[in-house]
Structure 1
Amino acid sequence: MIAEAGDRDRPRDARPARHRLGRQRVVAAASTIETAPLGPLAAFVTEKTTDLLVNGAAGLWVDDGHGPTRASGWSLDEAAVRELAIRLIAIGGRHVDEAHPCVDVRIGAGVRVHVVLPPVSTSGTLLSVRIPRLSTSRLTDLRAAGMLTGDEAQRLASVVEARENLLITGAAGVGKTTLLAALLAEADGGERIVTVEDVAELRVDHPHVVGLEARQSNLEGAGGVGLDQLVREALRMRPDRLVVGECRGAELRELLTALNTGHDGGAGTLHANSIDDVPARLEALGALAGMTDVGVARQAVSAIGLVLHLERVGGVRRLARLGRFHLDAHARLAIGPA
């Protein structure tokens, strides 16, 4: 376990009681969080926690899978929140200050920490912590949780077996990564899965999964490794299935090209508020990669076999719609029911 700054030289039992309690609860929740020195945040983590959101001195919101709710018992002021944010970013190997006010790091085996400092933030120091799930999910688990019906789970298992390329869409926190991991777990055990992620989050119950993670530039602006480069590197690693955790920019071009050149069975995720917004989102990302709308449309129709859109309804994450891409009368990308 990584000790907190200032705690390393103290006897274990002499460390602050709130920190000992935090560690006990984190260990009980998920062993991946044992190495994450979350300090006062640790006491708010349970086995169901997905996100911890600190809004400066305004308070802490905790998402246990049903949307963020304000936590009682949290009393850090702005100075203490800023100190905590700086320390967590330092543990992740980076530095955050007024010159570099927005930083994203991964701590330990998958805890994602994102910080925004004033004056970029107008609400004080903003700290967002994504807690990974240690346990892996299968389609049967998602059916039990209400995300899928029995028929949907059976259909998706058949889609994976048929090696259709998949795009999973939805807003933040609706379970895109969870569903992607469950689908990949259905792949044949003899296949090699290569994942590419901005921040490593996928936990796949499969015997042959290797992952690549993007790296931000250092303070001098050097050393960055983007998702577009990692997709190209992944293609040299003999993948049976190529997976991009989240398409955000130029990597879309590399992924569509790969899926159009014989790398079937691949998958990716995309932020979109509704399934009808997906074509426009892909066009916008394609523009970042220098692709025309027509180019994106033709590549997407050929490369992506099925779109799975997730929503959160009444606190329950569920598969809302399935769609397939096609070209409209103007050769632009459109989507219809599947």
Structure 2
Amino acid sequence: MRESLLNGAASRSSNGLVGPSEVSRAVRRSAGVRGDKDLLSLERTARAEFLGAGPVLQPLLDDPQVSDVVVNGDGSVWVDRGSGLRAVPGRLRAVRELATRLAAASGQRLDDAAPVAEGRLPDGTRLHALLPPLCAEGAVLSLRTMRTRAFGLDELRASGMLDDRSAQVLERLVQVRANVLVSGATGTGKTTLVASALSLVPPGERIICIEEAAELAPDHPHVLHLQVRRPNVQGAGEITLPDLVRTAMRMRPDRLVLGECRGAEVREVLGALNTGHDGGWATVHANAARDVPARLVALGALAGMSPATVAVQARSAVHAVVHLVRREGRRRLTEVAVLRAEGAEGFRAALALRCDRRGELAEAEAWPELARTLDDAGR
């Protein structure tokens, strides 16, 4: 049945690729189907098999509570519904075949010659796949779902990510067009927070988001998404994040946003934020706000920047660092810092707000500097 459906769908496609309409027509013309209920069930299964992540994984990805689905080399499946990874009963078979098909669906190659694939599935799900021997246990999959809408600040308060004070600070940072770095580990909600903040941008402003794969989905009428393009099989055609940053600066942006700063593009980002492009946001991986300077210096080294150059550029470009953590399944904004000079050529992150023993944001040493930024109506 599976082969007949696939062959029928492909034969009816004008370009030889299987799409949603081809799958639907093939299912409805297949022999042995009786009744609307059976027809709909078969169509859902076929769509998951040919266009999605398969009949086991696709229902998990469709669950609005699920943020991540991972498959290990032994076929075990784990999901994250906001409280950490939890095992799903049963085992998934033919993981390598599934990984290869998903990579192809995202426009990537996955085989012994190219055992690592990163891409975006047609529904927006982010894919990372790895084949042995790079992973000793077998083929592994990591899938992250895409948010279809931004959460409002009230929703982030209700979830516990923000308290009243942090919500007010974020809203004011947007209003005064401050340049903000959002730091945190993987899965702490950096993208979620940035999308919510960008939803507060006045509708007349043009936002250009630069990402490896489009994840930011702010509730705003004028947002453009620029995505990197990986090289083809011949190694040609690559468009990198630094390329996109330079392109975006020529597109009349009101606000430049970098989904994740994790390489040489830090040079272009700091440069752009120092040339009149205020109100920009970016995310960076760091364990704490105080670790952000070291992280920026390390990224700057990839771009050939000296630590002194990174320090000068960062202190001038970044008005606030917002740090997120994830503890016991809860995401929370715990620190807000400003960048200060340290020594002749260095810099550090000084805390302006930090969580006290009650879990509420309280003023710290650098609060006067942050307060001046928040009060700067002329920015």
Q: How far apart are residue 2 of structure 1 and its match?
A: 4.2
> Is contact 1:21-1:43 (8 Å) kept?
no
Selected match of 1:50 from 41, 47, 67: 67
Alignment of 1:81-96 (within 5 A): 81-96=95-110
2:65 aligned with 1:41: no
Match of 2:265 in 1: 251
Q: What secondary structure does 1:263 align onto?
A: coil
The CA deviation string for residues 132-180 of structure 1, in whole angstroms up to 9 with x for no partner, is: 1223212121111110001210111011000000000101011000000
Match of 2:5 in 1: none
Q: How far apart are residue 276 of structure 1 and its match?
A: 2.1
Match of 1:30 in 2: none
Aligned residue type for 2:52: P
Q: How far apart are residue 59 of structure 1 and its match?
A: 0.6
Match of 2:205 in 1: 191
2:354 aligned with 1:325: no
Q: Which moved more, 1:237-246 or 1:321-330?
A: 321-330
Q: Which moved more, 1:143-152 or 1:328-337?
A: 328-337
Q: Which moved more, 1:172-181 or 1:269-278?
A: 269-278
* In 1, Cα distance between equivalents of 2:192 and 2:22: 33
> Is contact 2:105-2:122 (8 Å) kept?
no
Q: How far apart are residue 19 of structure 1 and its match?
A: 7.7
Cα gap change, 1:191 to 1:253, in 2 (>3 Å): same
The CA deviation string for residues 199-230 of structure 1, in whole angstroms up to 9 with x for no partner, is: 11011100110110001111111011000000
Q: How far apart are residue 67 of structure 1 and its match?
A: 1.2
Match of 1:206 in 2: 220
2:137 aligned with 1:113: no
> Is contact 2:255-2:279 (8 Å) kept?
yes
* In 2, Cα distance between equivalents of 1:16 and 1:61: 28
Q: Which moved more, 1:206-215 or 1:104-113?
A: 104-113
Cα gap change, 1:131 to 1:36, in 2 (>3 Å): farther
Alignment of 1:259-298 (within 5 A): 259-298=273-312
The CA deviation string for residues 3-53 of structure 1, in whole angstroms up to 9 with x for no partner, is: 599998444757896883697xx9xxxxxxx99511120122311100100
Q: What secondary structure does 1:57 align onto?
A: coil
Alignment of 1:13-28 (within 5 A): 20=44
Q: How far apart are residue 121 of structure 1 and its match?
A: 1.4
Aligned residue type for 1:51: D
Q: What secondary structure does 1:104 align onto?
A: strand
* In 1, Cα distance between equivalents of 2:46 and 2:199: 32
Match of 2:3 in 1: none
Match of 1:64 in 2: 81
Q: What secondary structure does 1:56 align onto?
A: coil
Please list every run of 5 or more consecutive structure 1 residues that lacks an aligned counterpart in the other structure.
Answer: 27-33
The CA deviation string for residues 61-100 of structure 1, in whole angstroms up to 9 with x for no partner, is: 101111111111x3223xx000110011111112111111
Match of 1:31 in 2: none
Match of 1:75 in 2: 91
* In 1, Cα distance between equivalents of 2:235 and 2:342: 42
> Is contact 1:185-1:204 (8 Å) kept?
yes
* In 2, Cα distance between equivalents of 1:317 and 1:268: 18
Q: Which moved more, 1:163-172 or 1:54-63?
A: 54-63
* In 2, Cα distance between equivalents of 1:286 and 1:198: 19
> Is contact 2:149-2:218 (8 Å) kept?
no
Selected match of 2:180 from 159, 166, 170: 166
Cα gap change, 1:5 to 1:90, in 2 (>3 Å): farther
> Is contact 1:22-1:42 (8 Å) kept?
no
* In 2, Cα distance between equivalents of 1:138 and 1:92: 31
Match of 2:316 in 1: 302
State the TM-score, normalizing by the size of structure 1.
0.90
* In 2, Cα distance between equivalents of 1:167 and 1:332: 18
Cα gap change, 1:179 to 1:36, in 2 (>3 Å): farther
Which structure has the larger Rg over C-alpha atoms?
Answer: 2
Please list every run of 5 or more consecutive structure 2 residues that lacks an aligned counterpart in the other structure.
Answer: 1-17, 353-379
Aligned residue type for 2:73: G
Aligned residue type for 1:38: A
Q: How far apart are residue 333 of structure 1 and its match?
A: 2.3
* In 1, Cα distance between equivalents of 2:100 and 2:23: 14
Aligned-CA RMSD value: 2.4
Identity in percent: 46
State the TM-score, normalizing by the size of structure 2.
0.81
> Is contact 1:92-1:107 (8 Å) kept?
yes
Aligned residue type for 2:44: R
Selected match of 1:146 from 153, 157, 160: 160
* In 1, Cα distance between equivalents of 2:121 and 2:130: 17
* In 1, Cα distance between equivalents of 2:46 and 2:83: 22
Match of 2:330 in 1: 316
Cα gap change, 1:328 to 1:226, in 2 (>3 Å): same
